[in-house]
Structure 1
Amino acid sequence: MLKFIAKRLGISLAILVLGSLLLYVLVINSGDPLQDLRESNDPNRENRIRQRIENMGLDMPWYERYWDWLTGASRCLVGQCDLGTAINGQSVNALVATAAASTLRLVVLASLLAIVIGVILGIITAIRQYSGFDYGVTLFAFIAFSLPVFWLGVLLKHYAAIEFNNWIVDADLSWPVILAVAAVLAFILQAALGGDLKRRLITFAAVALGIVAILTYFDLVTWFRRPAIGIPVYVLGVIGAAVLVIVLTSGFHNQRVRNAVAATAGVALVGYIAVRGFLMTSATIPILLVCFVAAIAVAVAAGQLLGGFSRRQATLASVVTALLASLLAIADLLLSNWSGYLKEQPRPIPTIGSATPNYESTFWMHSLDALTHIVLPTVTLMLISIASYTRYTRASMLDVLNQDYIRTARSKGISERKVITRHALRNSLIPLATIVAFDFAGLIGGAVITETVFGWQGMGNLFRTGLAAVDPAPVMAFYLVTGTAAVTMNMLADIAYAILDPRIAR
């Protein structure tokens, strides 16, 4: 495996260097970096031209300029990057520090959400092949995949930002809206669960009535302006998450896994109840990281100590339970601060920018501000990626489900849950390891357009302004960050592929 990783690392570095050389040559030959000064009537024009030639090294051969950039970029390996200066004299290092954080935050979040949602939808559509739910998701996938990024972004800005901001002032839900939402969600859920006509009708009626009751309650208490999960709902949520994890992994018959998950859930409940008040007032990123690491450590300890012969499965189930409990805790803390955020930001969903300028408030208010700014561009990128993951997962899952070993497992009387989760799912995810890497690179390219639509000062803006000014330094910085991220994802995909199928590393 080490030889395989070293080989992939060497190939990745070679691709980055060759790609940087090609891009550098293309940029410096795309126009004249002195054009704006040549057309200027400034009496100091000749002096300014001379200064720009000196600052950009235009009096040097192109290969010497490229070597200077490559030498400075190579120092990033030891934490001493020197990416030069932009055409206006700004340090590219400082520009990248801000821009890279914005773009990678956007792309990574969109990728994670797209993977989770797309894989789940793909598995369900494969299990419900040729059902109404399968056809509906397929239709959605083709529509989402064909949507232009800029057009989808403009639609979201209007309906998910402007219209939502108008609605949140009163947050009223009319009866037609409640009934329509309940009918649509109930129809989707009954299609996903399947069964005969009687079971579908019962599912539809139960889900519709439940959603109508919930939305009516939310409307009466103006929950959308003063939302909160609260301790009682958090307790129910963690218990439900633990039950779901047990059902999807070992089932309730495996006492050791059940005990490990129950212990993890119990510690999560007690711990969160104990520190909730402190986190509401004094939370910081380091404190939250410490809490998260502690939750994972407890989960691993519970799995190892209580798992017995199922130690590996118990540890995995406990870690997933701890992760879900942590996400519920974060959601509770954020929602508890939503009403206060609305007082400071009456129109909470912005249409432009990655943060509110000069906004000073508490940690949770700043967190909500960052989330509300990132939600629309994330959804824009995520919807397009979900379509790809759904189709690839469905095709891969169907291929695996038709294999002989799956029919053998079923003929032995193994439950359908175990056939899907233990035998089919792992093998169906092998092709997706490669798709994730390509999609990540595609999302970076789409982020350039998305950042333009939503006014983000990210790597896309750095690339666009550098290219327009025929300034190679910002463009090469864009390549260094995004290209390294894309190549790294491809390398990790190859390693994940080798882990899932060890024959590849031989």
Structure 2
Amino acid sequence: MGKYVLRRFINYFILAFIATVTAYIASSSFMDPASRYRGQNPPLSEDSIRSILNGHGTNPEVPVLERTWNWLTNIFLHGDFGTTVHNSPVLQEIFVRAGVSLKLLLIGSIIGAILGVILGVWGAVKQYKASDQVVTYASYLIIATPTFVIGVILMIIATGFNNALGTTLIRFSGDYSANIDPGFIPWFTDQLSHMLLPTLALVLMGAATYSRYQRSVMLDVLASDFIRTARSKGRTRKTALVKHGVRVALIPMSTYFAYAFGTLVAGSAMLEVVFSWNGMGQFTINSILGSDINAAAGSVLFVAVLTLLASTLSEVLYAALDPRVRI
């Protein structure tokens, strides 16, 4: 198992490298970083703009392949991914913002996956019952609703809730408050207050998609011969479903986790903008809007690493659930 994970890690490292280099070449080919400095007041001369772009390594007058080679050389020799348009190191920005995004992504994805699996199994067992219909319609409604709309609706509900209480219990602007009292308890309650709405939005998105997929898989499992065999050997319906049906139904879900996690990463980017979180999602969007080539490439690296780690985790879960893979 260790050799298998190591081999997959090496393969994923190569894939992440290819994705990042491709992103850098594409950004260098289609973005116009010089447009950011033109039209300012007072205006900058072309020589000044050229000097700034040379400092970032993004001068469009230099051939793309030459810029890419210089960029790769700095990475392998110095661990330098370049600087953003605000003259801050890209790697430092990623480290600072990654923690902000990960605490939202990890909690939201884990709770969403668990809740979605439970709802999917429940819907399959209670097929066509009232509870199954409610979960089905609610899931499709959430899936059809854009991420930022879910965020805005939650903000409206939270505002009404705060007004009813006469105090700001739920905060939804930024990922922390600047004027909290010292100590662990005030810090922890402030974190919970800011994380509640964006985490809830991710949980709703994740649970809606997981529940549909899990319900479909579970329905196939319920019609399998081994469930009937387990019942014929004296197993109760609950025992047959939990010990045999759910475990088998979770096998394809472990593969789906890697793809669903990529969707959550994209959804969290929009939520970070809506809730003013200074995470990687907002960093990625700002880098594209600001024609920040180095930041855009670094953002792709972050997403690629997360997605590939999720894929590795899904394969480990697959092997844990299915003994045939380990053999």
Q: Choose 1 or 2 for highest CA Rg.
A: 1
Determine the C-alpha separation between the residues in 2 that align with 1:73 and 1:108. 28
Unaligned runs of 5+ in 2: none
Alignment partner, residue 35 of structure 1: 35
Q: Find out whether 1:441 has 2:267 as its counterpart.
A: no
Q: Find out whether 1:67 has 2:69 as its counterpart.
A: yes
Contact kept, 8 Å, 2:29 with 2:64, in 1: the verdict is no
CA 1:43 to 1:497, structure 2 compared with 1: closer, same or farther past 3 Å?
Answer: closer
Determine the C-alpha separation between the residues in 2 that align with 1:408 and 1:71. 62
Counterpart pick for 1:486 among 293, 307, 319: 307
Identity of aligned residues (%): 32
Determine the C-alpha separation between the residues in 2 that align with 1:114 and 1:18. 31
| Runs of at least 4 residues off by over 4 Å | 71-75
How far apart are residue 358 of structure 1 and its match?
3.9
Contact kept, 8 Å, 1:141 with 1:391, in 2: the verdict is yes
Contact kept, 8 Å, 1:144 with 1:384, in 2: the verdict is yes
Alignment partner, residue 495 of structure 1: 316
Counterpart pick for 1:147 among 136, 145, 148: 145
Q: Find out whether 1:470 has 2:279 as its counterpart.
A: no
TM-score normalised according to structure 1 size: 0.61
Counterpart pick for 1:348 among 159, 169, 185: 169
Determine the C-alpha separation between the residues in 2 that align with 1:19 and 1:480. 7
Structure 1 stretch displaced more, 427-436 or 63-72: 63-72
Amino acid at match of 1:124: W
Q: Deviations over 1:317-346 (max 9, x none)?
A: xxxxxxxxxxxxxxxxxxxxxxxxxxxxx4
Contact kept, 8 Å, 1:451 with 1:457, in 2: the verdict is yes
Q: Deviations over 1:341-390 (max 9, x none)?
A: xxxxx412123111112433220111111111111111112211111111
Q: Provide the secondary structure at the position in 2 that maps to 1:351.
A: coil
CA 1:164 to 1:72, structure 2 compared with 1: closer, same or farther past 3 Å?
Answer: farther
Unaligned runs of 5+ in 1: 170-345
Amino acid at match of 1:360: D
Alignment partner, residue 112 of structure 2: 114
Root-mean-square deviation (CA, aligned residues, Å) is 2.1
Q: Deviations over 1:217-261 (max 9, x none)?
A: xxxxxxxxxxxxxxxxxxxxxxxxxxxxxxxxxxxxxxxxxxxxx
Amino acid at match of 2:26: L
Within a 5 Å distance, the mapping from 1:65-214 to structure 2 comes to 65-73=67-75, 81-159=79-157, 161-169=158-166
How far apart are residue 43 of structure 1 and its match?
5.9
Determine the C-alpha separation between the residues in 2 that align with 1:74 and 1:106. 31
Q: Deviations over 1:121-151 (max 9, x none)?
A: 1111121122111111111111111111111
Alignment partner, residue 395 of structure 1: 216
How far apart are residue 73 of structure 1 and its match?
4.8
Alignment partner, residue 228 of structure 2: 407
Alignment length (residue pairs): 325
Q: Provide the secondary structure at the position in 1 that maps to 2:317.
A: helix
Contact kept, 8 Å, 1:122 with 1:389, in 2: the verdict is yes
How far apart are residue 91 of structure 1 and its match?
2.0
Contact kept, 8 Å, 1:28 with 1:471, in 2: the verdict is no
Determine the C-alpha separation between the residues in 2 that align with 1:105 and 1:3. 30
Contact kept, 8 Å, 1:102 with 1:457, in 2: the verdict is yes
Alignment partner, residue 21 of structure 1: 21
CA 1:36 to 1:425, structure 2 compared with 1: closer, same or farther past 3 Å?
Answer: closer
Determine the C-alpha separation between the residues in 2 that align with 1:452 and 1:395. 34
Determine the C-alpha separation between the residues in 2 that align with 1:163 and 1:131. 33
Determine the C-alpha separation between the residues in 2 that align with 1:499 and 1:115. 17
Contact kept, 8 Å, 1:406 with 1:423, in 2: the verdict is yes
CA 1:70 to 1:381, structure 2 compared with 1: closer, same or farther past 3 Å?
Answer: farther
Determine the C-alpha separation between the residues in 2 that align with 1:373 and 1:68. 41
Contact kept, 8 Å, 1:37 with 1:48, in 2: the verdict is no
Q: Provide the secondary structure at the position in 1 that maps to 2:37.
A: helix
Determine the C-alpha separation between the residues in 1 that align with 2:105 and 2:214. 21
Determine the C-alpha separation between the residues in 1 that align with 2:43 and 2:195. 45
